[in-house]
Every structure is written in structure tokens, then in C-alpha cells.
Structure 1
């Protein structure tokens, strides 16, 4: 399978989200009439976002041959909760979608710690080789991060304007995750392990 160019996967990751943001901002302050129905800017942006994310996910699968459990879960929840928002013309369903996603991830990571089955290590160990203790610490920290993001999402959409929530979803959440990953650089170094190369095993 041909390796995709370096910009392709980031474009597939960010493209649907930026399209959602652009559609919302272009229609902010009004309503959109479609098929005889008036939609709020957020619901209309959700209507555009669902097929865009589905298409990007399909292209990613065709290019790489696999999808992570997180990508599959995200697509399913976007289709379900985004679809409910469009069908019922109620943006609240889409707004609680990040809460459900992050609670799901936090619960799965917490369960993996309790059962001593580190699923995060199984998924990412090839890209980030660490010892078992390093993965245990990172899993616990990520579970707390996702729990905090779930709480933050609930606070923002329930107490702040819709535009503020869209900014938070589009840029705030990814920024928090990026800062978290960079902030754990010391953990990666302290628990890194050497992976045998093909030459070393001959």
C-alpha cells in the first residue's frame, strides 16, 4: 500500500472540523432554509459536518488500511448525535456529543487500568515505545484529561454562547490535548525503551 503524502492525513483530520467552523461562522446570526425547514447555523453546520467526516474517514481507511477505535467511535457518535440534532432541529444533541465521547474514552482507559489490560499501549506502542509503568502513568493521566474535557464541555455549552462553544470545540479542545501531549514529554523520555531493529535481530 502506497504511503500517503505527509499533508494528507492532517488534512483529513482537520478538514471536516474546519469546514464545520467555516459553515457556522458564515451563517452565524441568521438561519438557513433547506427543504422547507429553517435550521440554526449550528444545526446546518452539523448537517454539513456529518458527511464530510464520513468521507474523510473512508478516505483515511482506503489510504492506510485501518482505523483506530477512537476514530470509529467518534464517527459513530457524530452520526448518531449529529443526526439527532438535524432530525429534531435541536443543537443540544450535537453539543453533548463531545461529553459522551470523552466520558467513553475516560471510562475505557480507567477500566483498562483496573483490569491491567493497557489498551492504549496496544494501540500506540509501535509509535511510542515505553515500558509498562510509563504506559500505566500515561493511561491514568489521559483518563483524567478526558474526564476534565467532558466536564469542561458541559460547562461551556450550558453557560456560554453558541459561538463560544464552537470556538472551544474547534480550537480549544484540540489545543488542550496538544498541550497535554507535549507536557508529558518528560514521561516519554523517562520510560522510553529501545525497539530492536531488523539488523539487530539478524
Structure 2
């Protein structure tokens, strides 16, 4: 089913809003401790507990408006629910901090599996946005696979060796900026392998 057209600003708000709210709420509650049912919870856990249902609601709203959620969005939502839920249930922030690692290992692994089969799964996701020749898709897929796996390693290094504050800033701004920079640096591939539009004879 074709994706319904919605206001781009509303779509961006639904996609990025939960992350921004998580960041602001963390800055507000990071120094606080809450006692619920006789158990102490740090602010990070409380913010995580709010982020999970917020992601579910925003994803459902996005699906309702557009009639479509990409496989990447669905996988991300599932991992947010699983790892966020584990962090809240076990009162252990490590599970939620592992989530980006699992997401990027999953995406990198899927792209790698496709490459082993001689296919670019990235093409199936982005072909309508970036019409490239097959050779271009293979190059871009290999690079993105390595990039995702590199982000997974970087996330592990940061959450295991740095403070929670550092990890939250990295998660909110660093990962987003890294993905933006990655695609900005692929201009040579886009130019060299762009498909020429068919012209009427």
C-alpha cells in the first residue's frame, strides 16, 4: 500500500519528538531518585519508562497517518520496547544503553546477509528516494553495513567507559549527526551512479 501524504513537519515531529522529549526529561530528572513500591529508581529509569509508551504512541500515530511503517521503524520500536522494558523491569540502565548496539548490529547484519546473496537490501528500502544503478547500490550498501557495525562498536565503547550524561548526549546528537555526515559524504556515489531519467521520444 502506498504511503499517504502527510504534513512533513508533523511527520518529523512524530519521528523525532520522542527522542527530544527523552533528552529534555533526562536533563530534568537525572539527579533525582524516586521510590516506587519500596524500590529506588534513578531518573534515567523513570525517563526510560516514559519513553517506551511514548515511542509506541508516536509510531502508532505515524502508522495511522501514513498507512505505513518501514521495517527499520518496526525493528527499532520492538527493540525499544524489549530493551527499555528490561531496563525498567530489572531497574538496570545497561539494557537500554545496549539498544543502539543491537539496532545497528541488526541493520548491519541484514545488509551483510543481503550482500552475501549478491543483493542490496538497502535498494528495496530507499530506491524510490535515491534512484541508483545496481553497482551504486552495492557500494553504498557495503559502506553502510560497515558504518552501522562501527556505530555499534562505538556505542558499546561509550556506554561502558563514559558517564550516563556522555552517553545520552552521544545517543541524542552524536548518532544522528554521524548518520547525516555519512550520507553527505556519499555524494560521489550518488553522482556517479545516479539513474538518468527517461525522456520521452
TM range (shorter): over 0.9
1:88 aligns with 2:93: no
Which piece of structure 1 moves more, 53-62 or 37-46?
37-46
| Structure 1: stretches of 5+ with no match in the other structure | none
- The corresponding residue for 1:37 is 39
Q: Distance in 1 between matches of 2:131 and 2:182?
A: 18
For 1:47, which of 42, 49, 52 is the aligned residue?
49
Q: Distance in 2 between matches of 1:168 and 1:2?
A: 33
The C-alpha deviation readout for 1:162-198, integer Å capped at 9, x for no partner, is 000000001100100000011112211111003448x
Aligned counterparts, 1:34-183, within 5 A: 34-183=36-185
Q: Distance in 2 between matches of 1:57 and 1:179?
A: 26
Q: Distance in 2 between matches of 1:69 and 1:169?
A: 21
Instruction: Name the count of aligned residue pairs.
Output: 199
Q: Distance in 2 between matches of 1:96 and 1:55?
A: 22
Q: Distance in 1 between matches of 2:55 and 2:37?
A: 22
The C-alpha deviation readout for 1:60-100, integer Å capped at 9, x for no partner, is 11111111111000000010010000001100110111111
TM-score, reference length from structure 2: 0.94
Runs of 4+ in 1 over 4 A off after TM superposition: none
| Structure 2: stretches of 5+ with no match in the other structure | none
Contact 1:134–1:188 (CA under 8 A) maintained in structure 2:
yes
Name the SS for the 2:8 alignment partner: coil
Q: Distance in 2 between matches of 1:196 and 1:69?
A: 30
Name the SS for the 1:7 alignment partner: helix
TM-score, reference length from structure 1: 0.94
Q: Distance in 1 between matches of 2:7 and 2:170?
A: 29
